[in-house]
Amino acid sequence: MRSRMELSGYAKSTIISYVRGVRDLMEGLGKTPDLCTETEVIAHLNDWRERRQISPSALNTRIFGILYLYREVYKDRKIRLDIPNPGRSKAIGDILTVTEVSALLAACHYPKQAAVLALLYDTGLRAREVAHLRLGDFDKRNGILYVRYGKGGKHRVVPYGTAVVDSLKAHYEQERPTDWLFEGNEAGGPLSVKAVQYMVREAHRRTPIRKAVHPHTLRHTYAVHYLNNGGTLTRLQQLLGHAHLSTTLLYLRYAAIPLRDVDTPLDVLRGKSRCRR
């Protein structure tokens, strides 16, 4: 299971969490998962939730790990486990205003930090995706970058704006990276996710922003501001790398999309347009 997830490009933290859930299942039931019944697995999960009093998100991660084993590893052996996918939290946390984003970016003290935060907000990439960008992932002619092995091992293409280029150039001039855009402390390795989190936290500390701010806050803020600027939901789904449109729909709660931006079909038919072109 671990090897399959590594080949698929899953994050190290996700692999650890998924494998831990399967390990606890085997220890709790005293046998390998392929010999467990659906009833036994569900009973184990319920028992774990009640005895450990874990959060819903922690329980969800445990369930996803077990489902991954049955659906991806055992699928060739026709072993199935028919338990529903766990529900996800419907809240996405705080969204920053344009003024707050400006304050956060202005609080960066060195080029590397400024480039990391600018990319997080400009592209909506996850912390790990920014940390693992290589110089060769940028297509300067078309203004796009390639996200390789994003969440779930999926690849996607994301455009980047012209304003972020200044931050990237300043970082490059100082650091002179040769492979990874943001090199980490380990020789030849990329920046760690913890380092990205620290950069955001450290900049946040120097601002008057009272909201909780994490790398994912900038991702959520990017999504809402993208919709506010006229972006479409289906395109946003592609940019964020969401497998299901239902996940992207959550951002509509926070967006302020104009209600009168398209003529009604009858107005178009009768030539009574009220929207400016």
pLDDT average per 10 residues of sequence, the chain (277 residues): 83 86 90 87 82 75 86 78 63 88 96 97 95 95 90 86 94 95 87 95 96 95 92 93 87 77 64 64
17 in the same domain as 143? no
pLDDT for 275: 61
108 in the same domain as 207? yes
- CATH code (residue 139): 1.10.443.10
116 in the same domain as 230? yes
Active site (annotated) includes residue 216: yes
Catalytic residue among 4, 148, 214, 242: 242
Catalytic residue among 112, 219, 220, 225: 219
Catalytic residue among 18, 68, 222, 251: 251
179 in the same domain as 113? yes
pLDDT for 89: 55
Domain that holds residue 25: 2-77
In the chain, beta strands by DSSP E: 138-139, 144-147, 156-159
CA–CA distance, 38 with 26 (Å, rounded to integer): 14
Q: Domain for residue 275, yes or no?
A: no
Total-model pTM: 0.71
Active site (annotated) includes residue 171: no
Active site (annotated) includes residue 126: yes
Active site (annotated) includes residue 176: no
Active site (annotated) includes residue 132: no
CA–CA distance, 277 with 266 (Å, rounded to integer): 17
Nearest alpha-carbon partner for 181 in 213, 145, 152: 145
